[in-house]
């Protein structure tokens, strides 16, 4: 049987290659999808895969697609699941889709991933696998063989898979263009203050506050400080700038798909900064009714994506709503970054629903008396209720 | 006719005293409700009122009631209207209620306030007035006479009302225990970066990061750094600590009740810090389903209170829901404050739904294979949908 | 000044013609928009307008547009405001839009309507007027002159406007393709059982139960009992069939826009039958997640339209969501009509997410044991909660 | 090992007794919880259990508790999951709770139920089992042995368990005080019109329309046609009356917990009639804001109960909200029942927010002009939006 495996080059998925060959008698095709990792990691993954005896290794550069079709949708949706901007969650469906595409080209019979049976990623991979290739078998060796991390290391040593030195470090890290997650070890204790060493992207290296102007067109960022940038460049640039002010650290309790509460740490400088700017621009151009209802849409969208339900039609329906609202989300927002804080200090848009004449308390063109009727009806039912209560 | 006026001692309400006497032929009783203003302001208000010839001036200390019955409800509701923690909005119904109580004792025929016809406060005062005293007349001199700020100053000078020197400063400020709002002048322009001078409560006076431990019991804060404090003391203390790290600045576009968009600036150090801590504690003890639904309850509660509908029965119904959820919101949260940033770094509770055994990827007591059935059904309908799409 | 008046030919709008001429010194252009009224009423309106001395009378046949662009949207949205299928509410924005179009052609300065100051229609007319022609004046003579129905009759008699004989009947009726509303007299008392005489469209004239098959394509009905029909024909046909079984009576308490509760009676046979059928078809083809979220969208859509906010961008955003969901709402539904009852007895669709294999308790292709893992996690947090409660 | 089994006396649970003895080596205690079944069925269950050799059989009369603590909560919540009033769903947690109570008294080690691995009841039983007795083992023989209905019959015959004659009838029926469900056979086909024979409770036996007056106190029914009745009597009486007019048939597509769509048929005469009456009374006494938000609460409550999550704290939180709203839901509603149709024709309450003076178009105490200011602001943002669109 030929199986296509989502392959990162790390220990877990390297172990999976061997398990697929050894325990499942598979010919293995490995696919590494680049959603924003270091170029040397990609080369390493390729070399490692070949050493492990795969029948083929494929590297797919999906950064542009990730930025345009996933990250930019997340910005338009102000993506947040309980405070988490969905960095890993967002990349999984894209990776799974690429794995399915390769499997179809390769005429494979099985799709494989290295996720465990306790986490979220198994749901995200398999939801896409089952949706796009219901006829193919799914193999999840780590879960199906009930392996702990210790078991994996033992097996790796036995099979001659190189175990990285930093394996002693207890942290499990996942990185892509949209953020970095750090799990494991002492971080599993919700009351433990995270040691500074876990942070890579968010260190204060600039003493002074810095202002950054973000320009949006139809809901997506197109320029920083007046310089037009491609989606990938823009997100990378923002990660660098906001990260250098320590912006983007998230330390939270998260409800995993299974209902397990876990303590999670993230570094998402661009996500935090761009979504903050995007939200303020929306407050300038969307109506109050749109803002209120869109908040419910955003919560639903974020939960779907967190749960790996990228292929669920409701996600697509919600995107139709969101896209419609973004027609007017064009303009500029100035962020002030300083020592971990990020706040909006200025915003403007050709589609602003703001009217100085209406808003100003010094303006006289609007007769204040015109509001009187409204006051009479504002709390009408509340008044009737209070009256009945007293009678 | 005897009228009871909500009196702050400022220019606008001082002008109202004279207008009520002059244009409405009223005997005026002034009421100053202390919801957390400087003690010398209260004394000044009293002296000023007497000079203006009121038939009686009453000062009511409502700080404790404000903290317990209003601010603490706002914390339990994680109050936020489009990002604004409702500082002024929260105080108005309490002030209005006190005015009604005085009016009933004084057997007055009318209730008066100094709000204009463009803002939110007229709605907040009058909703309570109409609910609690539907039989009384309401007088809103500034709106009814369509006075601008310039008109008021002119009238004040004519009537010998002392006009403060800082009247040249274009900012209109409102302060109470829960926050400080700054409006007017250049701040009305959404694209203008606010000058540093507008900030009083949030200036970075401490260089180093500082950790503060907040202890909650049933959803409300009871101690800071291990020291039990009364509600008023605790909020004041938190305003001082968080403010000294520049935490609590809010710069936003806000949809006023009338539908007018306005740019608003707030300083709410305690509100920002305490609600952040409260939310994280909830994430540790409430179920995922509770967290999701409570978010909708919070949005509705905040909108009602923003709109001045404190007397609306839905607000009371929502509080019944909220109070039920808060039974278990007991525990400790550590906040790290630094140069405008405020984040949670640790949390613990005897009611935590967190289980290390369940969450840890190293634990073996839970067989990973037990999840397999769930994966089969997770995206069942999405898969059926995708299959139909392709056929 | 030239004013364009939305003119029905009834007493109220006839009085308005004279008032506009008499009290406002206007040249009056009358517009009667046909959204499904009897042809002789249109002719009468024209004759009456001419007798009243209008400078021009225009009749616009908007039935097709009403059915396609308004009623069909309402079906897709399962429109219901507190149980009311929005018949009158749906027609007002279309009528108002046509009035604005005529006013622009006629280069008029004012837009006029005959609605009172207590009801909903003033909001619906004026929201469209202000949105599409903010530069034009709005005249609402009945409200501005504070006329009661008695005042209008008196004025009509004085001005020689023919007062219909049935004016003694206390009922005020509004009819269009989507339904008929009956108000006034004894019906204003919520506890009064409505007399049979108020019903015109819903009388049981067929003794036996009757089945009707409705065919939908992309969310809208296209055929009845296998016969393809134009939108207008289809709705008319369904009104006749369902009405002949007494289906479509609605007797309710309704919260008007002002917050006033009113008792309302409606006859909406086609609306009740078609929306019931449409909903059941959706239950066959939409996912559970879509059905749940769409219910919230429907509530919001219906409230917006009830409130006359057809021009609000949120309405347009919600329609983008709804349209996306309707792509698959294609299929057939059989309704059984009998003596006021209407229920679905059969439904089918090429896009059904139903699978006999999955649903049947007799089928063996799905191993029942596969669900076991899911049960373990289903109430995980509830169990942790209950455990803490007991400890 | 001693196991306590939820026992109905039917084929499936009788088979389970034998399986528990035979395949699981258990001493079996059977518990039959009476939530409104015929008294002879209870006796039969007892006799059958004894013949099957149980160590003890216990019959628990829980009708009163079911009506007061479950059905009445459902009425207050206007319970409806996609149109299903939750009859079976509502009884399961009560039955499961009683089974746990017996198991604790009996010092049993296991809890057992006869539900299959495809339906909803396994979730409902086990959610309560795991919440209230996490230390006990759960045995679900039919699912764990992957038995189809055919397998069960074969095993029953082999083990000498009496197989009822009507086993040839393909319908699977569940009944309790709150409704009757009919599944299986041709009914599994969504396009098959159900044969009349499946209905037992809803047959038109009265030719003429009949009016029934329901009296509510704090949200629950207390009298029919002026006669005070106990909760159980009242529901039974209403089932008889509404059923005799054919009211209460529900034919629907339902999304089961697993995500499987199934066609379901129910007869719920009392549920349909009482909830219709209750809703209309709420429309008379609750504010518009309460009605809108309560609709979201009801949807969530119904979904939780459908999913068997009676022990989830969110259910308890929602009940706190609901109970608060019901304080004023006191009054009388008249229903007209006829040939399958049921509609409200009259309602009254001492807490009505209805005001004839406000609602009537003939009344003059309210100056119509007072509304003018409100109209100016009603569509303010929509107008600004439309203006920008055109520019």
pLDDT in tens, D103-151: 999 999 999 999 988 889 999 999 999 999 999 999 999 999 999 888 9
For residue D232, the SS3 value is: helix
SS3 A388: helix
% pLDDT > 90, chain C: 81
Residue/partner pairs of D294-302 with CB below 8 Å, 24 or more apart: D294/B317, D294/D321, D294/D322, D294/D325, D295/C299, D296/B296, D296/C296, D297/D77, D297/D321, D297/D322, D298/D77, D298/D78, D298/D79, D298/D80, D299/C292, D299/C295, D300/B293, D301/D77, D301/D79, D302/D77, D302/D79, D302/D80, D302/D81, D302/D86
Q: What is the CA radius of gyration of chain B?
A: 25
Claim to verify: residue B67 and residue B105 sit in the same structural domain: yes
Tokens representing C204? 């049981």
| Residues of chain A above pLDDT 70, percent | 97
Joined tokens for residue D93: 């947690």
How does residue B18 score in pLDDT terms, banded at 50, 70 and 90? very high
Q: Which of D260, D261, D314 sits opposite B290 (nearest CB)?
A: D314
Q: Distances from the Cα of B382 to the Cαs of A132, A310, C350, D256, in angstroms?
A: 10, 9, 16, 15
CA distances from B309 to A375, B7, B120, D131, D326 (A): 12, 21, 11, 39, 20
The whole-angstrom separation of Cα A220 and Cα A278 is 8
Residue A287 in contact with partner chain C when CB distance is under 8 A: yes
Alpha helix (H) residue ranges in chain D: 11-22, 39-51, 63-65, 72-76, 87-105, 121-132, 141-144, 149-158, 231-243, 269-285, 288-306, 313-326, 356-359, 372-378, 380-390
Q: Which of B170, B193, B210 is the last residue of a domain?
A: B170
Same domain, residue pair B222 and B344: yes
- DSSP bridge pairs for D167: none
Higher pLDDT, A358 or D15: D15
Cα separation, B130 vs C374, in Å, equals 54
On whether the CB atoms of residues C336 and D250 are closer than 8 A, the answer is: no
In order, the DSSP letters of B249-306 are: EEEEEEE-TTS-EEEEEEE-HHHHHHHHHHHHHHHHHS-HHHHHHHHHHHHHHHHHHH
State the total domains in chain A: 3
Strand, coil or helix: C347: strand
Question: Is D356 a member of any domain?
Answer: no
Strands D227-228 and D249-255 come out as unpaired
Distance of CA B378 to the CA centre of its chain: 42
Chain C CA closest to residue B375 = C374
Question: What CATH number is attached to the domain comprising A317?
Answer: 3.90.1260.10
Q: Are residues B307 and B205 in the same domain?
A: yes
pLDDT mean over C300-304? 97
Burial class (CB in 10 A: 0-12, 13-18, 19+), B280: buried
Q: Which of C166, C172, C133, C126 is nearest to C149 (CA)?
A: C172
pLDDT for the residue D387: 81
Average pLDDT over residues C122-128: 95
Residue range D294-333, pLDDT digits in tens: 999 999 999 999 999 999 999 999 999 999 999 999 999 9
Surface of D (129-148) touching C: CB under 8 A: 130-132, 134, 142-144, 146-148
- Asked whether residue C16 falls in the same domain as residue C90, the answer is yes
Give CA–CA dist C321/C323, Å, rounded.
6
* Range of lowest pLDDT (A238-247, B201-210, C152-161): C152-161
Q: Where in the sequence numbering do the catalytic residues of A fall?
A: 12, 92, 121, 172
Same domain, A243 and A342: yes
Cβ distance B321 to D321 less than 8 Å, yes or no, reads yes
Q: Is B345 helix (H, G, I), strand (E, B) or coil?
A: strand
Cα-based distances in Å from C168 to A67, A247, C45, C155, C172: 70, 74, 21, 16, 11
Angle at D115 between CA D111 and CA D120, to 5 degrees: 110
- Beta bridge partners, A252, equal A264
* One domain for residues D254 and D306: yes
CA C7-C11-C14 angle, to 5 degrees, is: 45
Choosing among A77, A255, A293, which should be mutated to test the C contact, i.e. which has the most C CBs within 10 A? A293
What is the average pLDDT score of chain C? 93
A144/A179 same-domain check:
no
State how far the alpha carbon of D156 is from the alpha carbons of B254, C253, C378, D150, in Å. 70, 56, 31, 10
Residue C19 belongs to a domain with what CATH number? Answer: 3.40.50.620
**Minimal CA separation from A214 to chain B, in Å:** 13
In this prediction, residue A389 carries a pLDDT of: 76
Q: If you write DSSP's letter for every residue of D40-106 in order, what string do you get?
A: HHHHHHHHHHHHTT-SEEEEEE-HHHIIIIIIHHHHHTT--BTTB--HHHHHHHHHHHHHHHHHHHT
| Residue C390 clears pLDDT 70, i.e. is over it | no
Which of C99, C109, C94, C116 minimizes the C-alpha distance to C36?
C94
Give CA A135 to chain center in angstroms. Answer: 29
Least confident of A171-175, B78-82, C200-204: A171-175
Q: What is the CA radius of gyration of chain D?
A: 25
Please say if the pLDDT value at position C177 is more than 80: yes
Tokens of C54: 């209008």
Average pLDDT for C339-361: 88
Phi, psi of D241 (to 5 degrees): -65, -55
**Domain assignment of residue D196, yes or no:** yes
The radius of gyration computed from the CA coordinates of chain A, to the nearest angstrom, equals 25
pLDDT at residue C364 tops 80:
no
Q: Which residues of D touch A371 (CB under 8 A)?
A: 373, 376-377
User: C-alpha angle with apex B78: B72 to B84, nearest 5 degrees?
Assistant: 105
- Looking at residue C224, what is its pLDDT? 98
| Per-residue pLDDT, C354 | 86
Helix (H, G, I), strand (E, B) or coil at C96: helix
Cβ-Cβ contacts under 8 Å, D353 against chain A: 381, 384-385, 388
- The catalytic site residues of C sit at 12, 92, 121, 172
Tokens 């339902």 -> residue:
D254
Is C353 domain-assigned? Answer: no
- Residue D289 inside a domain? The answer is yes
DSSP annotation of C352 reads -
From CA A381, how far away is CA C30, in angstroms rounded? 38
- Is there a domain that residue B13 lies in? yes
CA of C283 to nearest chain D CA: how many angstroms apart? 6
Residue A108 placed within a domain: yes
Q: Please name the residues in contact with A211: beta carbons below 8 A apart, sequence gap of 6 or more.
A: A334, A335, A336, A337, A345, B193
Residue C257: which pLDDT band, with cuts at 50, 70 and 90? very high
Q: What is the pLDDT at residue A165?
A: 60
Q: CB distance from C184 to chain D under 8 Å? A: yes
The whole-number pLDDT of residue C321 equals: 98
Question: Are D85 and D8 members of one domain?
Answer: yes
Q: For residue C46, what pLDDT band results from cuts at 50, 70 and 90?
A: very high
Task: In whole angstroms, give the CA distance from residue A285 to residue B255.
Answer: 11
Interatomic CA distance for residues A221 and B131, integer angstroms: 48
Residue A50 shares a structural domain with residue A20: yes
- For D378, which residue in chain A has the nearest alpha carbon? A374
- Among B25-29, C39-43, D164-168, the minimum mean pLDDT is found in D164-168
Distance CA B384, CA B48 (A): 75
How far is C333 from C310, CA to CA, in rounded Å?
Answer: 30
pLDDT per position as a tens digit, B224-268:
999 999 999 999 999 999 999 999 999 999 999 999 999 999 999
C356 contacts in chain B (CB < 8 Å):
none
B351 in contact with C at a CB cutoff of 8 Å? yes
pLDDT for C362? 67
In DSSP notation, C157-180 reads HHTTPPPPGGGGS--EEEEETTEE
| Per-residue model confidence (pLDDT) at position A167 | 57
pLDDT digits (tens, 9 = 90+) for A232-288: 999 999 999 999 999 999 999 999 999 999 999 999 999 999 999 999 999 999 999
Gap between the Cα atoms of C166 and C296, Å rounded: 43
Taking the Cβ of residue A173 and every Cβ of chain B, the question of whether any pair is shorter than 8 Å is answered with no
Based on the fold, state whether residues B199 and B137 are members of the same structural domain: no
Ranking A191-200, C114-123, C241-250, C371-380 by mean pLDDT, the lowest is C371-380
Alpha helices in D307-361 (DSSP H): 313-326, 356-359
Residue A168 has pLDDT above 70, yes or no: no
Measured distance CA(B330)–CA(B318) in Å, rounded: 20
CA distances from C78 to C272, C277, C352 (A): 10, 10, 19
Residue B168: exposure state from Cβ atoms within 10 A (0-12, 13-18, ≥19): exposed
Reply yes or no on whether the pLDDT at C189 is more than 60.
yes
Distances (CA, A) of C338 to B196, C343, D194, D247: 74, 9, 16, 12
* Assigned domain for B353 exists: no
Best of D81, D275, D288, D350 to mutate (most C CBs within 10 Å, chain C) = D288
Tell me the pairing of strands A341-348 and A331-338.
antiparallel
CB atoms within 10 A of CB A56: 15
Mean pLDDT of the D158-180 span: 83
Lowest-pLDDT choice from B374-388, C205-219, D46-60: B374-388
Could you count the other beta carbons within 10 Å of the beta carbon of residue A207? 9
Of B170, B204, B221, at which residue does a domain stop?
Answer: B170
Mean pLDDT of C378-382: 85
Same domain, D248 and D276: yes
Q: So what's the pLDDT on residue C277?
A: 98
Q: Which C residues in the span 151-170 are in contact with B, Cβ-Cβ below 8 Å?
A: none
Q: Same structural domain for residues D87 and D156?
A: yes
**Residue C357 belongs to some domain of the structure:** no
Residue B97: closest CA among B128, B123, B76:
B128
Q: Do B374 and C369 touch (CB under 8 A)?
A: no
Q: What is the pLDDT of residues D219-230, one digit of tens each?
A: 999 999 999 999
Q: Is it the case that residue B167 has pLDDT exceeding 60? A: no
Instruction: Using the CB atoms, write b or e for B266-276: b if 16+ within 10 Å.
Output: bbbbbbbbbbb
Domain boundary among D169, D194, D229: D169
Give chains near C: 3+ CB pairs under 8 A. A, B, D
Mean pLDDT, chain A, integer: 93
* Active-site hit among D73, D92, D328, D347: D92
Domain that holds residue C371: 362-390
Is C257:C308 a contact under the CB 8 Å cutoff?
Answer: yes
Residue D360 has pLDDT above 90, yes or no: no
Name the least confident of B370-374, C121-125, D231-235: B370-374
Arithmetic mean of pLDDT, A44-48: 95
Residue in D with minimal Cα distance to C282? D253
Mutate to test the interface with D, among A288, A307, A348, A384 (most CBs of D within 10 A): A384
| A84 — pLDDT class (breaks 50, 70, 90) | very high
Inter-chain residue contact A287 with C314, CB threshold 8 Å: yes
């Amino acid at each position: 049987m030929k199986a296509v495996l989502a392959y990162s080059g790390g220990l877990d998925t390297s172990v999976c290659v061997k398990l697929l060959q050894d325990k499942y008698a598979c010919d293995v095709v490995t696919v590494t999808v680049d959603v924003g990792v270091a170029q040397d990691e990609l080369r390493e993954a390729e070399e490692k895969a070949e050493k492990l005896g795969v029948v083929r290794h494929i590297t797919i550069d999906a950064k542009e697609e990730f930025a345009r079709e996933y990250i930019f949708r997340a910005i338009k949706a102000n993506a947040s699941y309980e405070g988490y901007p969905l960095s890993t969650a967002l990349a999984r469906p894209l990776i799974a889709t690429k794995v399915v595409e390769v499997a179809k080209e390769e005429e494979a019979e099985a799709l494989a991933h290295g996720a465990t049976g306790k986490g979220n990623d198994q749901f995200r991979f398999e939801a896409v696998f089952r949706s796009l290739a219901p006829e193919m078998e799914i193999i999840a060796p780590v879960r199906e063989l009930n392996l702990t991390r210790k078991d994996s290391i033992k097996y790796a040593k036995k099979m001659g898979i190189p175990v990285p030195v930093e394996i002693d470090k207890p942290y499990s890290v996942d990185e892509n263009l949209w953020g970095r997650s750090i799990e494991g070890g002492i971080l599993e204790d919700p009351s433990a203050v995270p040691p500074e060493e876990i942070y890579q992207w968010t260190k204060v290296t600039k003493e002074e506050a810095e202002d950054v102007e973000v320009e949006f067109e139809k809901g997506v960022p197109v320029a920083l400080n007046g310089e037009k940038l491609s989606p990938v460049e823009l997100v990378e640039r923002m990660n660098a700038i906001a990260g250098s002010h320590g912006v983007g650290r998230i330390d939270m309790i998260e409800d995993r798909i299974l209902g397990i509460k876990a303590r999670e740490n993230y570094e998402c400088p661009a996500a935090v900064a761009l979504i903050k700017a995007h939200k303020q621009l929306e407050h300038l151009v969307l109506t109050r009714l749109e803002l209120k209802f869109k908040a419910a849409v955003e919560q639903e969208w974020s939960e779907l994506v967190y749960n790996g339900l990228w292929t669920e039609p409701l996600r697509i329906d919600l995107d139709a709503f969101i896209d419609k609202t973004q027609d007017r989300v064009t303009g500029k927002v100035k962020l002030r970054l300083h020592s971990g804080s990020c706040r909006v200090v200025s915003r403007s848009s050709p589609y602003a629903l703001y009217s100085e004449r209406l808003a100003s308390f010094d303006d006289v063109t609007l007769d204040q008396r015109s509001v009187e009727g409204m006051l009479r009806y504002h709390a009408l039912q509340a008044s009737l209720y209070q009256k009945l209560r007293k009678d």
